[in-house]
Structure 1
C-alpha cells in the first residue's frame, strides 16, 4: 500500500476551454504536489467568451466514477465544483460521507461570463447538504449573498456572511473578496476559533477565468497533504495570486490563469 499523501477526488464539471472546472482543478492539484482524480458531473461547451452549452452526466455515472476512485485509489481530500442540480448535490453529499475525507466545497453558481450553473432550487440543497459537510467553503460575494441573503459589499459584509455560513454548519469559510470593491483584494478565512486575512494588490486584468476553481482545488491539495488549514490556504492563495499575475493572455474574453507558472519561472 502506498504511503503517498495528497490524493484529491474532484467532483465537478469539465471546461472545454481548459481554464476552469475539472481542467483547472487537475492542474492546480498537480502543481501543488497532489494527485488528482475526478468524477465529472457535466460537460460544458466553453471558451473565454462564455458557456455555450451544458450537458449533465447521468447520476449513476457520476456515482460510479467516484466510487471507482474511492474503492481503489482512495482520497485524502475531496473538492466539489459545478454540481448543477438537486440530484447531483444529493449524490455528491452521500459520496462525501462515504469518503470520510475533508471536503473543500466551492459553491459554483455562475460562470465568469454570467451563465447560471446552478438552478435556484439547487441552492437550497447546497445550503442543506453541502455546507454542513464542508471542511472549507469557498464562496465569492455573489455566492455568499445567495446562500445567506446578506449583502456582501465590504469587509464587514464578508465577515457577517462568513459567520452566517459557519452557523449553517461549515467548519471553515474562505470569504473571497474579488467581487468586493476596494483598491486591495482581501479574502477572509473564518473558523469558529477566529479569522485570518489574506490581502494583496488587486490585479486589473480580464484574465481571471477559473480563479475560484483553482483556489479551491489548491486548498484541497494542501489539506490532502496534511497541512493545517491556514497553511493550506496560504499556500493556495499565493499560488493563485501568481497564476493571475502570469496569465498568458489567451482568448478574446475572460482568459485563463497560468497554472504551470512554478515550472516556468
Structure 2
C-alpha cells in the first residue's frame, strides 16, 4: 500500500519530534538529525518506488561509493520496470481471457446461424448460449425478458418473476437474481406450454374438448387394431383366404358388367346425337339456306 502525501508529511513531522528529543543536548545534533531525516525521506521514497529521490545522506550513512550509488539506482529502477512488465503481462492475459470469451460467444452465434440456415431446430442449449455473452453460464432476468420479447413471446416482468419464484421456490430480487441453464430450460418449457394452450383458446378449443377428442381418437385406434388382429387370426385358419376370394370375385364381375352396360348406353347415345346432327346439316344444304 502506498503512503499518500498527507500521511507522508505527518510521518516526517513525528519522526523529527522523536529525533529532536533523542539528540537534545548532544554533540552534532543538527548534523545527525539532518542525516536521519534524509534517510527517513529515502525510505519513504523507496516504499513508494520513487527511486530517483534517494538522498545522498542515505549513501553516506551506509558508506556507499559513488559508483555503487549509481548501480544501486539503476538496479532499483530496473527492478521497478521488471515488476511493471509482469503487471502488464498479467493484465494482457486477463484481457485475452475476456477476448476468448467473446470469441467463444461469436463462435456459438455462428453455429446457431448455420442451424437456422439449414432449417435445423434450435435446442434450449443453443438459445442459452445466445444469452450468455460472457460465458459465465448464468443470465440476468432483464436480458432474458428482452430476448423473449424479440422472439416474440409476450411476457411481462411480473409474470417472469412469478415463474422464477415458482422454479427457485424462494423470494427473489430481479436486480440481483441469476438464472442458470436448468432454470432457463424450465422457463422455456412453461412458456411453450402456455403458448400451446393460448393458441387452442384462440381456436375455440378448450382443455375438456381436447381431452374428449384425444380419448375418442384412442378408442378408434384401439378398435382398428382389434379388427386387424382378429382378421390376421382369421386368415390363419385353412380355407379362409380362398373363401374370401370366392366371395369377392362375383362382386368384381358384377361391377364390370354394370360398367360395360353403362359404356354401351353412352356409346349409343353419342351415335344418335351424331346422326341427328348430320341429318340437320343435309337438310340445310338441300334447302340451300344458311
Query: Fold conserved (TM > 0.5)?
Result: no
Structure showing greater relative contact order (alpha-carbon pairs closer than 8 Å, 6 or more residues apart): 1
Q: TM-score, normalised by structure 2?
A: 0.20
Q: TM-score, normalised by structure 1?
A: 0.22
Bigger strand fraction = 1
Structure with larger Rg: 2
